[in-house]
Structures are given as C-alpha cells and as structure tokens.
Amino acid sequence: MDSSSRKFVFITGGVVSSIGKGVAAASLAALLESRGIRVTLVKLDPYINIDPGMMSPLQHGEVFVTEDGAETDLDLGHYERFITARMGKRNNFTTGQIYNSVLAKERRGDYLGMTVQVIPHITDEIKSWIYAGAGDAEVTLVEVGGTVGDIESQPFLEAIRQIRLDRGRMDTCFVHLSYVPYLEAAGEIKTKPTQHSVKEARQIGIQPDVLICRMSHPLQEVERRKLALFCNVESEAVISCTDVDSIYKVPGLLNRQGLDELVCKKLGLTTMHSDLSKWETLIYKKENFTHEVNIAMVGKYVSLTDAYKSVNEALIHAGIHIRAKVNVYPIDSEQLNEDNLHVLDGMDAILVPGGFGPRGVEGKLRAIEYARTRRKPFFGICFGMQLAVTEFARNVAGWKGASSTELCADTCFPVVSLISRARADSNSVLTPDVDTNGVMRLGAHKFTIEASSLLSEIYGRSEALERHRHRYEVTPSYLPDLVKAGLRISAHSADDKRFCEAVELIDHPWFIGVQFHPEFSSTPSTPNPLFRSFIEAALVHQRFTKVEQCAVVA
C-alpha cells in the first residue's frame, strides 16, 4: 500500500506504569478491525536491552515468541489475542535495537562523517522502524512503552511528534492513557496527576487528541468536563476505562463511549459500524459457566501472573469454549515437598509450564511423579516436558540420576541436553550466555504427529505448527530406550532434524508433554486444541473422582 495513505494512532501512558496500555491499545485495534479496517500494532520499548529474551520474568513478565522467532514484550501476546494480524520481528523494538542499528551504520560510514545525534539520526531510525512495522496496514497503533516524562522514552516521543508534523492531523491521532486515582479519604477521584502528565506531554510537543482514564470508579460528567478543560481535550474525547473482571470486556467498554467512532472521525475514515458480536458471545459464555475446574500451575514465578501470561490466557480461552470456569492455583515448586504434596489432591489437573535453570526443579519433578502415579491429567510445556522425560527416565526406566545437562552438567544419563549448532535451524540464535555451542531454537516449526497418539486425536491432523523457545532437547540417542521403557514419542519436527516435539504416556488418561509453546497460538475465539483437551480431561477426572468418593461413602 502507498505509504502516504497509512494512518497512525499513538498510545502513550501517564502517571504510572502497569495500567493496561497494551490491553487498551489492543482493544482499540480490535474495534477498528471490527469496522473492516486492516490494522496492526507496534510496541516501542524504551529499555536498552536488545529484546526481553534475556530479561528476568520477575522484572519483565513473559517473553512472547512470534511465529518468525522474535522474543518480544508480552503486550504482543495481547495484540495477537485481540486482532487477527500476526505479530513478527518488526512489531516490537527497543532503544537497544535502535542504537545497535545506528551504530552499525555509523561504523559502515553511512553517515558520511556527520556527527551522529539523537535528533535526527536516532529519531529517523525510530520513524523508519515504525513505518516498517506498519507494513501494509491501513491503521497502525503504536504503543510507546513506559510513562511520559521518563528520560529513556524521550527519543520515541520526539519521533512520534515528528511523525505528526510530517504527516499531518488527518493521518495521526494521539491517545494518552492515564491513571486517575480515587482517594478514599476524600471520597473523590483526583485529576491532578493526569493534568501533570498531559502537561509533560505538551512540553515535548504532544497534545493528546483522546484521553483514556484508567480508574476504579465511573467518570462523572463534571469530572469529564474538568479533565477536558485542564488537558485541552474535547469533552467527548475523555473516555473512562474502569476496572473490569475480564480484559475481553474492554473493547465493549470503550466502544460504548464512542472511542472507535471518535478515532475514525479524527483520522477521516468512513467505515462500516463496529461489530462486537464476537466479544459479546465470549462474554456471554464467560458469564454463564456450567462447570468449574481447579488447575495446579507448578512453577517458580507463581506470585506474578505476568510471568505465565499466555498460559493463563490459554487456560481461560479453553474454559470459555467448554463453559468451564478455570481456577488456576499457582504452586511454588520451591516449596513443594513430600509433606505438603497433598495440596495437589484437590486439583483436577496439573500443569508445569516452561522455565529455565535448576531452582524449584525438585518440586516440579515431585508434581510430575504425583500426576503420573495418581493418573491425574498432566500437561508439561517445554521445560515441563523435559522434566516429564527426566522423571520418567529416573522412576520408570530406572536410570538413577538421569537429568538434563541444564540441571546437572555431568549427569550419568543426560536424557535432555543442549541443542548443538549442527542441529540448529534458520530461526535459531546463538545464546551468548553460557555455552557457545548452545543455540536457542525459536519461532514456529512444523511437526509430524504420530498416528493413533492422543496428540493426533487432539489436533485431528497429522501435521501442525507451533512456536518454540528452547536451548535443550530430549537427547536423540536416548529416544529408542525411552520408547522401549514405555514412553510414547507422539510428535517429531517435520524437518530432517527430527526433534522430539511431544511425549505421552500410553497407560495414563491424559499425560502430555510438548517441547513447543501451544499457549502462544491460543486466542479467545480459537483456543488451542491442547488446552481445550486438557481442560476437558480435567473435567472428566473431576467427575470420575466424585463418583469414586460417592462409592467409598456408600
């Protein structure tokens, strides 16, 4: 598409972080998409890291992996769950990547001896990356990470200010999402922090066109007028985004206040009416659950739901479709021992998500053994699958001390070991941290599913595509012996490398480990089949247990 006809909505944040800028941006994008507009989203992260790949989930939350193998901010997960466009390497970039690129150009002599400066070189680079991320979308929503006023986000704000100047009002719209606190003691909301953050934005040349107020109480008319007056925004452009019990209610909440209508008007877009039926159906199902299941999520970042964001969402999606309220019980694997393993008794199924490093591993192995021996549905994702193989090797095959070389470098049975460079593929990246031989296998890879496996029943086809993020794999030379001991290898990568992609237990109702991350491809309208089947298995287990308990009582 002709780049001059593309339009941009910039979303900035004010007052505090973590007020749901990603969800607000994704919701507005979903509303515009429902009007027939081709949309995409771009996230700008002001930190210096090249990407969040090496950042702690405790600080940064989950690393969302795109089909083309980018390790990105978790907001890209929201984007994919709200709109149909798939995200990729170009939809998320950081200050680190911008400087990296500018410095490489400087070394190549591209700047012809000029002094390289934030303006125009860094800002030009940011602008060209925004345009690249926009691709052929008619409207691109650009979320600027951080909060207006942060030192590190200034070049990004300067770049979007310039884009407004370059392209004009009809092609750009500034949306500012701010936090409006409610003071219990005063019994009223306080608009001053928002006034200050808008003032801050105006100081750098950005006058918001729309103000979205994150707040706990609905906005009263008098407060709306006050915010409009002090922030120099039209009254109808002050939108409130109150707390809701599901992020999937946000598109409807914003639509009812005319946000998408307003943005279309500002951008001069004549479109069809928005169609919210998809979201309404979801909410209806979500509010009319007929069942309830309890899932134990055994991991090490249990206090932070953001660390396993996509897994939590994928469980919710599956639940919505089978009308089951999914209660996820985070269980800290570091605290799980023989004396308290009974916490798993009341659970209908157990999930061990992805992870890195030895901390908390013994607890995870205990939970896996419990699920295997008590015939409770078990779902192991990536590290969860590698540990399921380890547990099987130790306790079923009888290989004492079997382990992953990630956990014990000199184990006598390295059933899980580093992917060698020779086995790497085009999406793999060398990981600079530990072992220069190690590569991170990233992105979507096709795999072949074994006929008559539970996995083939679940996917209903012989091939599927899911995303990966791992440096270790089940050691290929151990596969024949693991199979002999009774482990079923239910999927292999479809390439000639034949990575072990999934395992299952034949004499267990539902015990599956997958090397890939099925959570990344789950959306509220199309839940991933594995999660769906897992929740169904949890329900079956629950019914079975109830019948058993009744039988004992009788």
Q: CB 351 → ligand GLN: shortest distance, Å?
A: 13
- Integer Cα distance of 207 and 194 in angstroms: 13
Residue of 422, 418, 398 whose CA lies nearest to 407: 418
Secondary structure class of 379 (helix, strand, coil) = strand
Q: CB 468 → ligand GLN: shortest distance, Å?
A: 8
> How far, in whole angstroms, is CA 519 from its chain's centroid?
8
Nearer to ligand GLN, 251 or 380 (CB): 380
Asked whether 456 and 476 are in contact (CB, 8 A), the reply is: no
Pairing of strands 238-242, 291-299: unpaired
Q: CB 426 → ligand GLN: shortest distance, Å?
A: 18
Tokens describing residue 205? 């040349």
Q: CB 470 → ligand GLN: shortest distance, Å?
A: 3
Nearer to ligand GLN, 81 or 471 (CB): 471
User: With CB under 6 A as the contact rule, which of the stretches 23-31, 352-360, 497-505, 531-539 interacts with ligand GLN?
Assistant: 352-360
499 is a contact residue toward ligand GLN (CB under 6 A)? no
**Nearest residue to ligand GLN on Cβ basis:** 354
- Integer Cα distance of 350 and 534 in angstroms: 9
Asked whether 462 and 456 are in contact (CB, 8 A), the reply is: yes
Nearer to ligand GLN, 48 or 465 (CB): 465
* Candidate residues 131, 230, 289, 356; the one interacting with ligand GLN per rule CB under 6 A: 356
* Candidate residues 354, 443, 513, 529; the one interacting with ligand GLN per rule CB under 6 A: 354
Q: How many residues bind ligand GLN (CB under 6 A)?
A: 10
Q: Is 193 annotated as a binding residue?
A: yes
Residue of 39, 21, 19, 20 whose CA lies nearest to 29: 39
Q: CB 294 → ligand GLN: shortest distance, Å?
A: 24
Residue of 268, 272, 211, 248 whose CA lies nearest to 32: 272
What are the strands, taking DSSP E only, across 290-406?
291-299, 324-332, 349-352, 378-381, 403-404
- Integer Cα distance of 171 and 9 in angstroms: 8
User: With CB under 6 A as the contact rule, which of the stretches 213-221, 351-359, 389-397, 530-538 interacts with ligand GLN?
Assistant: 351-359
Q: Which of residues 380-419 bind ligand GLN (CB under 6 A)?
A: 382-383, 406
Q: Is 151 annotated as a binding residue?
A: yes
Q: CB 447 → ligand GLN: shortest distance, Å?
A: 16
Q: CB 526 → ligand GLN: shortest distance, Å?
A: 23
What are the strands, taking DSSP E only, across 450-549?
463-470, 472-474, 487-493, 500-505, 511-514
Please state at what angle helix 221-231 crosses helix 192-203, rounded to 10 degrees. Answer: 30
Nearer to ligand GLN, 61 or 354 (CB): 354
Q: Is 12 annotated as a binding residue?
A: no
User: With CB under 6 A as the contact rule, which of the stretches 320-328, 359-367, 463-471, 528-536 interacts with ligand GLN?
Assistant: 463-471
Alpha helices in 168-297 (DSSP H): 192-203, 221-231, 250-256, 259-266, 277-287
- Integer Cα distance of 394 and 384 in angstroms: 15
Q: CB 390 → ligand GLN: shortest distance, Å?
A: 11
Residue of 44, 263, 93 whose CA lies nearest to 172: 263
470 is a contact residue toward ligand GLN (CB under 6 A)? yes
| CA quadruple 353, 364, 457, 541: dihedral sign | negative
Nearer to ligand GLN, 383 or 447 (CB): 383
Q: Is 117 annotated as a binding residue?
A: no
**Maximum Cα–Cα distance across the chain:** 89
Determine the residue type at 502. Answer: A
Nearer to ligand GLN, 141 or 407 (CB): 407
Q: Is 287 annotated as a binding residue?
A: no
Q: CB 262 → ligand GLN: shortest distance, Å?
A: 41
471 is a contact residue toward ligand GLN (CB under 6 A)? yes
Asked whether 362 and 369 are in contact (CB, 8 A), the reply is: no
Q: Is 236 annotated as a binding residue?
A: no
469 is a contact residue toward ligand GLN (CB under 6 A)? yes
Q: Is 471 annotated as a binding residue?
A: yes
Nearer to ligand GLN, 434 or 465 (CB): 434
Site string (299-338) toward ligand GLN, x via CB under 6 A:
----------------------------------------
Nearer to ligand GLN, 177 or 368 (CB): 368
Secondary structure class of 210 (helix, strand, coil) = strand
343-346 contacts, C-beta under 8 A, 24 or more apart:
343/296, 344/296, 344/370, 344/371, 344/376, 346/294
355 is a contact residue toward ligand GLN (CB under 6 A)? yes
Nearer to ligand GLN, 73 or 406 (CB): 406
Q: Which residues are catalytic?
A: 382, 517, 519
Q: Cα–Cα distances in Å, from 48 out to 76, 143, 158, 541?
A: 19, 17, 17, 48
- Integer Cα distance of 470 and 418 in angstroms: 9
Q: Is 406 annotated as a binding residue?
A: yes
* Candidate residues 47, 129, 472, 510; the one interacting with ligand GLN per rule CB under 6 A: 472
Q: Is 195 annotated as a binding residue?
A: yes
User: With CB under 6 A as the contact rule, which of the stretches 212-220, 263-271, 458-466, 468-476 interacts with ligand GLN?
Assistant: 468-476
Place of tokens 């015939």: 375
Binding residues: 17-23, 75, 143, 150-152, 190-195, 226, 244, 355, 383-386, 406, 471
Q: Which residues of the chain form contacts with ligand GLN (CB under 6 A)?
A: 354-356, 382-383, 406, 469-472
Binding residues for UTP: 17, 190-195, 226
Binding residues for CTP: 17, 150-152, 190-195, 226
Binding residues for Mg(2+): 75, 143
